[in-house]
């Protein structure tokens, strides 16, 4: 059965409705709840509550209902392919595609959607497509009647063709209609109209399949609330996974749609959590390592009845000890300065932090320290004074390493270290004489 692939940034917008944004926002925006407006009691409800209430009366499909929708999707896909193969323009496009595949300009895998099938099944689909394309080329070369082509190529509807390939065929039809006139143009426009009707029928059937399972996406989203992503965002991501499941579902395999869709919903929600679940985003590859560390720590706690050491976690997870420490630090949750503290909650965490701004007394003491330090430095020889200024970044300059100073003075690193130690000892002696020991030793 042919099916459209899941929506992506590079593909045309899905024909499925935007399931949450229809409550008031467009394109992913959320409609703010306006309390006390003239719209009545519903206006006071948030978007989340309105959405959940709208689902209260929905009922899941029975197995028979899912099969009926699957057959409608199948019929729509078949009607679209029949419209293609009854058009000489589309047949020529299929024949040209066969030539592109033969010369290596196109790959058969590029013309098919990714599927859940094993590689052997995917290879079988590619083989079937190759045979059908070759048949289309032969029919065009023989100028076979349209009815014969329609019968011979009907199996195209059983393949999951890539949307870009489908669009290529339909684009060629639109281009031909623009250049044609009279009866030929009317014929091509009739083909395009038939394709549009088939698309709408497929979209409507898939939409019914999705709408009947929106409560499943909400239920799975609720299970993932503890990861820091707003519930409405989780539901929206779950709905996108639900849409993708509807695009790929094959009722003939005998699976219930809800069972199949649950996996796609969970994958969409988990990806959203990985990308936006924390105020400070952790890259996906580090998130995978963190999961490995968390699993190892959990297993050790269950085995030993105590919190394991970093070394034990590293050994169990197969990671270096330092990497485990880094992952533990990254996993720490940021603490808001506005977080309430205490039983009453009337104190903010930020109120308990020491004020790092200097007091007026501190500023006076610092100015006095700077003045007396300069007096001490002035008592040294110019080269000694220059060495300390550069070593400790005095007078606003950046501090330099022993190697950098050694190169400037044509001395070794060790010799500069010895001179530095002697100069500091000299300053300590003089500072004691001037009662500055508390500044330098503190």
According to DSSP, residue 335 is labeled: -
Distance CA 245, CA 247 (A): 5
pLDDT at 243 over 90: yes
Q: What's residue 120's pLDDT? A: 56
> What residues does 347 pair with on adjacent strands?
341
- Residue-wise pLDDT for 183-202, tens only, equals 999 999 999 999 999 999 99
CB-hemisphere CA count at 13 Å for 154? 8
Q: Phi and psi dihedrals of 192, rounded to 5?
A: -65, -40
Q: pLDDT (tens digit, 9 = 90+) per residue, 371-423? A: 777 888 888 888 888 888 888 877 667 788 888 888 888 888 888 889 888 88
Distances (CA, A) of 104 to 97, 110, 124, 310: 11, 12, 19, 54
Q: Give the mean pLDDT of 203-217.
A: 93
Confidence of residue 333 (pLDDT cuts 50, 70, 90): low
- The per-residue pLDDT for range 137-182, each reduced to its tens digit, is 888 888 888 778 778 888 887 888 888 888 888 899 999 999 999 9
Note the pLDDT tens digit of each residue in 35-46: 344 444 444 356
Q: How deeply is 145 buried, as exposed, middle or buried, from its count of CB atoms within 10 A (0-12, 13-18, 19+)?
A: exposed
Please indicate, yes or no, whether the overall pTM of this predicted structure exceeds 0.75.
Answer: no
Task: Summarize pLDDT for 8-20 with one digit per residue, the tens.
Answer: 333 334 444 444 4
**Where do the CATH 1.10.10.10 domains begin and end in the chain?**
360-441
Residue positions counted in the chain: 442
Which pair of tokens denotes residue 389?
Answer: 């200024």
- Percent of the chain whose predicted confidence (pLDDT) is above 90: 17
Per DSSP, the three-state class of 25 is coil
CATH of span 360-441: 1.10.10.10
Question: Taking Cα atoms as reference points, which of 350, 188, 243 lies closest to residue 19?
Answer: 243
What are the angstrom distances between the C-alpha of 130 and each of 165, 170, 217?
Answer: 14, 20, 38
Three-point CA angle 140, 79, 189, nearest 5°: 70
């Amino acid at each position: 059965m042919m099916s459209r692939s899941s929506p992506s940034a590079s593909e045309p917008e899905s024909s499925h409705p935007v399931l949450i944004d229809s409550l008031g926002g467009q394109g992913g925006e959320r409609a703010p709840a306006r309390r006390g407006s003239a719209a009545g009691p519903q206006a006071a409800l948030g978007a989340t509550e309105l959405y959940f209430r709208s689902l209260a009366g929905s009922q899941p499909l029975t197995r028979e209902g899912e099969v009926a929708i699957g057959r409608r999707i199948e019929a729509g896909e078949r009607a679209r392919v029949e419209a293609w193969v009854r058009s000489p323009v589309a047949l020529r496009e299929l024949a040209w595609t066969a030539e592109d595949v033969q010369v290596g300009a196109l790959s058969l895998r590029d013309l098919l959607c990714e599927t859940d099938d094993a590689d052997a099944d995917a290879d079988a689909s590619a083989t079937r497509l190759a045979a059908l394309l070759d048949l289309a080329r032969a029919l065009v070369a023989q100028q076979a009647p349209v009815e014969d082509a329609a019968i011979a190529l009907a199996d195209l509807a059983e393949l999951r063709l890539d949307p870009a390939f489908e669009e290529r065929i339909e684009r060629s039809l639109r281009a031909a209609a623009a250049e044609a006139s009279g009866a030929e143009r009317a014929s091509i426009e009739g083909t395009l109209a038939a394709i549009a009707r088939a698309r709408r029928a497929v979209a409507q059937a898939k939409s019914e399949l999705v709408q009947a399972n929106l409560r499943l996406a909400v239920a799975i989203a609720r299970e993932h609330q503890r990861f820091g992503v707003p519930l409405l965002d989780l539901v929206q991501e779950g709905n996108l996974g639900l849409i993708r499941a509807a695009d790929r579902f094959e009722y003939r395999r005998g699976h219930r749609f809800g069972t199949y869709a649950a996996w796609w919903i969970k994958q969409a929600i988990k990806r959203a959590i990985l990308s936006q679940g924390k105020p400070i985003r952790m890259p996906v590859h580090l998130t995978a390592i963190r999961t490995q560390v968390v699993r190892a720590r959990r297993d050790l706690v269950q085995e030993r009845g105590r919190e394991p050491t970093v070394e034990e976690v590293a050994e169990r997870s197969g990671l270096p000890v330092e990497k485990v420490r880094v992952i533990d630090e990254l996993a720490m949750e940021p603490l808001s300065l506005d977080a309430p503290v205490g039983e009453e909650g009337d104190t903010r965490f930020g109120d308990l932090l020491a004020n790092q701004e200097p007091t007026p007394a501190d500023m006076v003491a610092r100015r006095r320290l700077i003045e007396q330090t300069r007096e001490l430095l002035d008592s040294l020889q110019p080269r000694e004074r220059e060495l300390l200024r550069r070593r400790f970044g005095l007078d606003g300059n950046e501090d330099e390493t022993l190697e950098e100073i050694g190169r400037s003075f044509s001395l070794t690193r060790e010799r500069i270290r010895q001179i530095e130690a002697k100069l500091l000892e000299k300053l300590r002696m003089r500072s004691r004489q001037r009662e500055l020991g508390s500044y330098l030793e503190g």
